[in-house]
Amino acid sequence: MPVHTRIRFSFNQLPLRTKVGLFFAIAGAITLLVLFGVTFLVIAAIGGVVTLIANLFRTKPVSPPPAEDPFPTARPFSKSRMRKKDDDIIDI
């Protein structure tokens, strides 16, 4: 006697009521998945269209006036940062 015996299962062994029940359960599950997927897709598309339309009619924000520099730009006690004409040439 072999250690591993194959168990043969035929779909004909199931009663008709079980076959019909399995068919409706699988069809119902697939239908629910499709409905939820399509509903999610439609909601996302409507949200995208609403966002697009809202951005089209949006007015540009008013930019605040430039802030005044608390330090004056003229610094009498610091070295001049002006470049000389010879500064940009590298001596070798």
10-34 pLDDT tens trace = 666 888 899 999 999 999 999 999 9
| Stated pTM of the model | 0.46
Give the pLDDT band (50/70/90) at residue 79: low
pLDDT-derived band at 7 (thresholds 50, 70, 90) equals low
User: Which of 82 and 34 is assigned the larger pLDDT?
Assistant: 34
| 70: pLDDT strictly greater than 60 | yes
Going by C-alpha positions, the residue among 8, 29, 27 that lies closest to residue 19 is 27
Note the pLDDT of residue 71.
63
- Whether 1 maps to a domain, the answer reads no
Q: Which domain holds residue 25?
A: 15-58
In a domain, 78, yes or no: no
End-to-end CA distance of the chain: 95
Torsion sign (Cα): 13, 18, 19, 25: negative
Q: Alpha helix (H) ranges present in the chain?
A: 16-56
Residue 41 lies in a domain: yes
**Overall domain count for the chain:** 1
